[in-house]
Amino acid sequence: MERIGREYPPEAVWEAQELYCVARLTFEKVAEETGVAASTLKRWAATYDWRGKREKLAQAEADLAADTILARSVMLKKLIKSQNAQDGFAVSALESLAMKQAEAARAQKLMSAVKQNELRPIRTPDEAVAALEEALELKLNGLLQSPEDLDFKAVQEVQKATQLIMELKAKVAPEATTKKAKTLSANLEARIREII
């Protein structure tokens, strides 16, 4: 709870501003991340015009994305016409930048998905199946978004997880009819955690 007259270091204000303006989190999420009351954050937002900054940043990001795509298009067309080495270097640099931006966006999306699915207890086979299926879904989504990460080891991991899910489901199905909830063995739980 916020105490009246409590002072925060300037770094707390700027961190909160970045989370609200750049990361575009809600006041409630910024409060969770920083430990600063939402009412204090709203007061700071009014004082430092966070809403205006947030809108300007969003517009700048949209403009930058559009300008980058247009620049890539112009340079690629120029390279096709000229076949000049300098144009080729410029196209290569722009394409490399675009790939890095796409990788960063995928990584951020995956991290937010992982954050939303905090570790939960795995005590029963039903919970184990649900956790494994969720982890497998995240892994597959990550591989589909980043095909360059797809290799033999990744395929093996997916195959092992799928096999373990099938084994657990075969064991869970009889339990569903008897309504018994058994706990997992430590060994099985360790295998599940390793895969997740």
pLDDT of residue 164: 85
CA distances from 123 to 67, 171, 182 (A): 52, 14, 8
Q: Residue 192 — very low, low, confident or very high, per pLDDT cuts 50/70/90?
A: low
Q: What's the pLDDT tens digit per position in 147-173?
A: 776 778 878 888 888 888 888 888 876
Return the closest-CA partner of residue 16 out of 104, 43, 61. 43
Q: Residue 60 — very low, low, confident or very high, per pLDDT cuts 50/70/90?
A: very high
Return the closest-CA partner of residue 171 out of 134, 123, 129. 129
Query: In the chain, where are the structural domains located?
Result: 10-48, 52-115, 117-195
- Whole-model pTM: value is 0.46
pLDDT exceeds cutoff 90 at 59: yes
pLDDT exceeds cutoff 90 at 103: no
Distance separating alpha carbons of residues 99 and 94, to the nearest angstrom = 9
